[in-house]
A and B are shown apart, each in its own frame.
Chain A
Amino acid sequence: AAGVIQSPRHLIKEKRETATLKCYPIPRHDTVYWYQQGPGQDPQFLISFYEKMQSDKGSIPDRFSAQQFSDYHSELNMSSLELGDSALYFCASRGDNEQYFGPGTRLTVT
Chain B
Amino acid sequence: LAKTTQPISMDSYEGQEVNITCSHNNIATNDYITWYQQFPSQGPRFIIQGYKTKVTNEVASLFIPADRKSSTLSLPRVSLSDTAVYYCLVAVRQTGANNLFFGTGTRLTVIP
Do A and B share a complex?
A: no
What residues of chain B have their CB less than 8 Å away from a CB belonging to chain A?
Answer: none
What residues of chain A have their CB less than 8 Å away from a CB belonging to chain B?
Answer: none
